């Protein structure tokens, strides 16, 4: 079966693929992708007309399969990593690949023979407007998120002052060098050309990540760094490195491909897949490559059409965009957690879940005493995590330059209440402030002001549609039946927990549920007012109950544990202080009036009866705001695989109720919490 897109590979008849390298059997991700792509991976001798032999690129084990192929006259299928792989290189514990290039013609870095990717580049029309639009968005998205094949770098690290010539090193023995018509001497030649063609310019040699990690030697050493030549082995973002370069020189590195995407015309001394299409200056051109392509066409072939991408959370083949969603989630977790954190004052029941979310790279350590937490964070090079608006005493006073982030639940939380100790599927760790405190800037505000990346609004629109279709909200409790409502203009008034931080920090004159109801009734005497108490208050776990006689006097209907999503569909508008239900109403197209200043107010999306902070000047579309609030701001954990994941996975889990059951210990703790909450 020819390699192709993930979508076309799925569902075809299985074909036996005989392998002679243990990696195909022990690397479960690789075997799984091949299986989903229609191959039955097995040992033995091929015998049928449809049988194939699988080898890994041009690896040292490939000759075994090639010999059997020649002996049995069985065609070879070559497998290689796709161009977005993982956080770290495979040799550095990078984990399994996110996608494969499955090639029945050749292998993309072997220029002696046409590969499947080269055939697409040479013969596919590459004129589909939808695919080219996806390609343009994809290029910009990789730049914006600082994503590459390997991603164990820090976009915040400084790069040299602009104006340098960038020379890209590779590891010795890299198959793309030998099979791309180059050798070790080519690297010496390339460095000479870089200096001669840019007299007087600084030359920066970028080491390969595996060389910098001490895994494999490169072609350049410190001995090459003299005069105007420097060796850069710091884990900087390749996209930031491209920004300051006046020229890019490569043999066959993937960074040459990314240089094209960044707007360069790199000088190429080998014969990589991206050379020969009019986008590079080729020292050693491939004669048969005569077609002229645009950057979008090159990207569409290499990233959308040729690879087979895999979604590890949902265990299925997927699109390029879905693969980027997953990689983005994993890379974000690595970059934010790689130095580790000291978590301060976290309740015992939260700790195992916090460990899963923030402790993948370096296990969390927990401290109760703020002073000890600051000392440990400084001594061990960690950051600090604290829950929400909790008082931290000396923590904020003595933290100094130590990174401190405040943790809160995200807006797609769970099936069940936090007060019932149901762990959240999404969390935010905000290094600037609290999203529900309008007195200070938060990361959410900064994300809203910056706007989404290319394609971000369309992604948010799809996400909103899924949420509405599945009837999802923050807590997703088992609903009671919806009562009959009187006819008229219906206003939904969601009750809140009155000691909630969003009330304490974001409320105006009305800061109780009773005051909220009185204001709504006073300004809407003829409306049908529907009051919905907060689930935590109904459960007796938190304060905020309105006396029954007062509630019945002010509201036409009081609803209990009904589905907020269904309820919103039956009302005309929502009035609230700071409830997240107002955000859920916006997603469903209902007008929202805010008496306080919740995170979604002040952006022109709501009617605000509370003065907005002067910082909130941006006027985003609803989709742009949703991208910030549900995609860019929170972090999500897949409850099934335990992997960092995009919000689309969590939406699917919630919709399908594909969630682990709560523990008996947590249910007992919830009951005790409710008992103690009743005491003053």
What angle is formed at CA 431 by the lines to CA 429 and CA 436, rounded to 5 degrees?
70
Q: What is the mean pLDDT of residues 555-584?
A: 95
CA-CA distance, 190 to 113, in Å (whole number)?
Answer: 25
Long-range (24+ apart) CB contacts under 8 A made by 673-677 are 673/419, 673/421, 673/541, 674/419, 674/539, 674/540, 674/541, 677/540, 677/541, 677/542
Q: What is the C-alpha separation between 65 and 635, in angstroms, rounded? A: 43
Instruction: Please state, in angstroms and rounded to a whole number, the distance separating the CA atoms of residues 124 and 561.
Output: 56
What are the tokens at 186?
A: 């080519």
601 and 594 in contact (C-beta within 8 Å)? yes
671 pLDDT more than 50: no
How crowded is residue 270: how many other Cβ atoms within 10 Å of its Cβ? 28
**Full-model pTM:** 0.92
* Per-residue confidence (pLDDT) for residue 420, from 0 to 100: 67
Q: Is 12's pLDDT higher than 80?
A: no
Higher per-residue pLDDT: 2 or 279: 279
Residues 461-471: tens digit of each pLDDT: 999 999 999 99
> How, if at all, do strands 557-558 and 528-532 pair?
parallel
Query: At a CB cut-off of 8 Å and minimum separation 6, what does 587 contact?
Result: 464, 467, 468, 622, 626
Position 2 scores a pLDDT of 40
Q: Is the pLDDT of residue 174 over 80?
A: yes
- The three-class DSSP label of residue 102 is strand
pLDDT in tens, 423-437: 899 999 999 999 999
pLDDT of residue 13: 64
Cβ-count burial of 567 within 10 angstroms (0-12 exposed, 13-18 middle, 19+ buried)?
Answer: buried
Fill in the DSSP letter of residue 547: P
Q: 20-39 b/e with 16+ CB inside 10 Å = b? A: bbeebeebeebbbbbebbbb
Cα-based angle 524, 526, 527 (whole degrees, multiple of 5): 65
Exposed / middle / buried, residue 162 (Cβ in 10 Å: 0-12, 13-18, 19+): exposed
The vertex-429 CA angle with 376 and 601, nearest 5°, equals: 145
Cβ 268 vs Cβ 283: under 8 Å = yes
Residue 138 has pLDDT above 50, yes or no: yes
Residue 419: pLDDT band with limits 50, 70, 90: low
Res 93: pLDDT: 65
User: pLDDT for 194-240, tens place per residue?
Assistant: 999 999 999 999 999 889 888 899 999 998 989 999 999 999 999 99
Average pLDDT, the chain: 92
Per-residue burial over 277-307, b if 16 or more Cβ lie within 10 Å, else e, is bebbbbbbbbeebeeebebbbbbbbbbbbbb
Rounded to an integer, the average pLDDT of 71-88 is 96
- Tokens for 560? 């209990």
- Site of tokens 């200096």: 195
**CA–CA gap between residue 456 and residue 472 (Å, rounded):** 21
Instruction: Compute CA 494 distance to the chain's CA centroid, rounded to the nearest angstrom.
Output: 32
DSSP code of 631? I
Looking at 471-614, list the stretches that DSSP marks H as alpha helix, in order from N- to C-terminal side.
Answer: 501-506, 513-523, 535-538, 548-554, 564-569, 580-587
Mean of pLDDT values over 353-366: 96
């Amino acid at each position: 079966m020819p390699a192709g897109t993930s979508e076309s590979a799925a569902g075809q008849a299985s074909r036996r693929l005989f392998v002679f390298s243990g990696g195909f059997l022990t690397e479960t991700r690789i075997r799984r992708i091949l299986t989903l792509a229609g191959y039955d991976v097995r040992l033995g001798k091929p015998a049928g007309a449809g049988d194939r032999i699988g080898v890994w690129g041009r690896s040292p084990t490939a000759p075994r399969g090639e010999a059997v192929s020649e002996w049995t006259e069985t065609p070879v299928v070559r497998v290689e990593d796709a161009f977005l792989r993982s956080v770290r290189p495979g040799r550095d514990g990078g984990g399994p690949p996110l996608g494969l290039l499955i090639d029945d013609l050749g292998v993309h870095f072997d220029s002696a023979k046409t590969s499947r990717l080269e055939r697409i580049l040479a013969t596919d029309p590459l004129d589909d407007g939808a695919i080219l639009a996806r390609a343009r968005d994809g290029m910009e998205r990789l730049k914006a998120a600082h994503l590459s094949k390997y991603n164990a770098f820090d976009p915040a690290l400084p790069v040299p002052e602009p104006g340098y010539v960038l020379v890209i090193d590779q590891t010795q023995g890299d198959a793309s060098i030998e099979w791309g018509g180059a050798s070790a001497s080519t690297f010496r030649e390339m460095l000479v050309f870089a200096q001669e063609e840019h007299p007087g310019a600084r030359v920066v040699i970028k080491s390969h990540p595996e060389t910098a990690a001490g895994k494999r030697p490169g072609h350049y050493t410190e001995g090459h760094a003299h005069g105007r030549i420097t060796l850069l082995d710091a884990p900087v973002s390749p996209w930031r490195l491209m920004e300051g370069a006046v020229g890019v020189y490569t043999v066959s590195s993937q960074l040459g491909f990314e240089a094209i995407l960044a707007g360069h015309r790199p000088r190429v001394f080998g014969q990589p897949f991206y050379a020969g299409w009019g986008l590079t200056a080729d020292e050693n051109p491939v004669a048969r490559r005569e077609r002229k392509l645009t950057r979008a066409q090159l990207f569409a072939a290499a990233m959308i059409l040729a690879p087979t991408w895999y979604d590890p959370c949902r265990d299925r083949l997927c699109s390029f965009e879905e693969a980027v969603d997953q990689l983005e989630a994993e890379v974000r977790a690595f970059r934010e957690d790689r130095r580790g954190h000291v978590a301060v004052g976290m309740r015992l029941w939260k700790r195992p879940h916090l460990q899963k979310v923030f402790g993948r790279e370096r296990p969390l350590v927990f401290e109760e005493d703020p002073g000890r937490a600051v000392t440990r964070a400084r001594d061990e090079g960690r950051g600090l995590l604290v829950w929400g608006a909790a008082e931290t005493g000396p923590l904020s006073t003595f933290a100094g330059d130590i990174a401190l982030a405040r943790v809160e639940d995200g807006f797609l939380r769970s099936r069940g209440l936090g007060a019932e100790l149901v762990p959240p599927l999404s969390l935010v760790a905000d290094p600037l402030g609290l999203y529900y405190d309008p007195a200070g800037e938060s990361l959410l505000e900064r994300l809203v002001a910056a706007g989404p990346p290319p394609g971000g609004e369309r992604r948010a629109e799809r996400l909103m549609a899924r949420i509405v279709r599945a009837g999802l909200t923050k807590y997703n409790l088992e609903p009671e039946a919806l009562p009959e409502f009187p006819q008229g203009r219906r206003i939904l008034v969601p009750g809140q927990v009155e000691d909630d931080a969003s009330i304490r920090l974001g409320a105006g004159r009305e800061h109780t549920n009773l005051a909220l109801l009185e204001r709504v009734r006073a300004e809407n005497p003829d409306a049908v007012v529907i009051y919905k108490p907060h689930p935590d208050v109904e459960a007796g776990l938190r304060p905020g109950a309105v006396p029954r006689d007062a509630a019945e006097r002010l509201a036409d209907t009081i609803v209990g544990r009904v589905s907020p999503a269904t309820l919103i569909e039956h009302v005309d508008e929502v009035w609230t202080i700071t409830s997240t239900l107002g955000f859920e109403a916006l997603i469903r197209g209902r007008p929202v009036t805010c008496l306080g200043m919740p995170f979604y107010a002040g952006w022109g999306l709501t009617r605000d009866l509370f003065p907005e902070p002067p910082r909130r000047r941006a006027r985003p579309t609803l989709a742009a705001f949703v991208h910030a609030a549900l995609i860019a701001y929170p972090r999500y954990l897949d409850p099934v695989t335990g992997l960092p994941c995009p919000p689309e996975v969590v939406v699917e889990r919630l919709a399908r109720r594909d969630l682990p059951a709560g523990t008996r210990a947590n249910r007992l703790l919830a009951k005790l919490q409710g008992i103690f909450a009743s005491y003053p």
